Amino acid sequence: MEVELADRRRGRVFFNDDHAPSSIDAIRPELERTFAEAEDLPRLDLLERALEWRMLDVETFPSDDGAPFLHAYVHAFHLSAAPLLACVIAPASAIRELVSEPPHFVFETATFQCVDGDGMPRGAQVVDAMRAWARRVWPGRSIPRVVVRPWLERAGSDLEAMALPGLRAA
């Protein structure tokens, strides 16, 4: 179920049939409250400025716990020396699993994007997910070309040494 917020941003709400909300109005306040955490706002401002460039340079990293989630980081060196966490991309199969347990719903927020399919998102799925994420979070903005560089596990790589926010080594 897609929900438009007061400022035109949008998010989807995923739930299992046994826990369907009574109406969009019943869930809109909770989505409004949780759409963007206070600590995310400065980073989201930088990410919005990154959309002004001709290309959105995205690098993805797998979740460290084996879940089929990708952490998507935007390289915008004109704005930040470190990559900026854009969002976590989750396939629909993982969302179905999440809603099977309390609280039986999942919000698509400014930092969480669902993509159709099962298993680890790849290739065009990731590009489409990043474009959908940007359109939801900044409606009306022009979205630049999205270029995705998937993380390739290299011998001796150390995720902790990379010091990327939101990512830990296994």
The tally of domains found in the chain comes to 1
Tokens representing 141 are 């903005």
Residue 64 lies in a domain: yes
The predicted pLDDT at position 32 comes to 94
Residue 159 lies in a domain: no
Pairwise CA distance, residues 61 & 154, whole Å: 12
* DSSP-derived pairing of the beta strands 2-4 and 10-15: antiparallel
- For residue 1, what pLDDT band results from cuts at 50, 70 and 90? confident
The predicted pLDDT at position 153 comes to 53
Express as a percent the part of the chain with pLDDT over 70: 89
Residue 156 lies in a domain: no
Residue 129 lies in a domain: yes
The predicted pLDDT at position 86 comes to 97
Residue 167 lies in a domain: no
Residue 8 lies in a domain: yes
- For residue 163, what pLDDT band results from cuts at 50, 70 and 90? very low
Residue 69 lies in a domain: yes
36, exposed or middle or buried, with CB in 10 Å at 0-12, 13-18, 19+?
middle
Q: Which domain holds residue 102?
A: 2-18+26-34+42-151
The predicted pLDDT at position 169 comes to 40
Residue 147 lies in a domain: yes
Looking at every residue in the chain, the average pLDDT score rounds to: 87
162, exposed or middle or buried, with CB in 10 Å at 0-12, 13-18, 19+?
middle
- For residue 165, what pLDDT band results from cuts at 50, 70 and 90? low
Mean local confidence (pLDDT), 33-37: 95
User: How much is the pTM?
Assistant: 0.85
